[in-house]
Amino acid sequence: MANNGDTESGIQKLINKVLSERKLWEQRRSEAEERIKVLDAKLEAYQTTLKNHWESVNGKEQRK
């Protein structure tokens, strides 16, 4: 049977492992949120460009 020190040491190792895993997942979440912001900005720029293009096309058709 393990003594009290071994049990505490084992528990501390598990706690450290969980905290390490949590830190990794928080970093990944943060990186994913940043990628989403970049993609949202690109999508908005694309939609604006597309809108401007079609407004330009429609304006040229009306002038004919």
Q: Among all chains, which residue has been given the structure tokens 């501390």? A: 12
Contacts of residue 10, defined as CB under 8 A and 6 or more positions apart, other chains included, come to 2
Confidence bin at 48 (pLDDT 50/70/90): very high
Residue 35 clears pLDDT 60, i.e. is over it: yes
Q: From CA 51, how far away is CA 44, in angstroms rounded? A: 10
pTM of the model: 0.66
Q: What is the pLDDT of residue 64?
A: 61
The residue among 18 and 62 whose pLDDT is bigger is 18
Average pLDDT over residues 31-47: 98
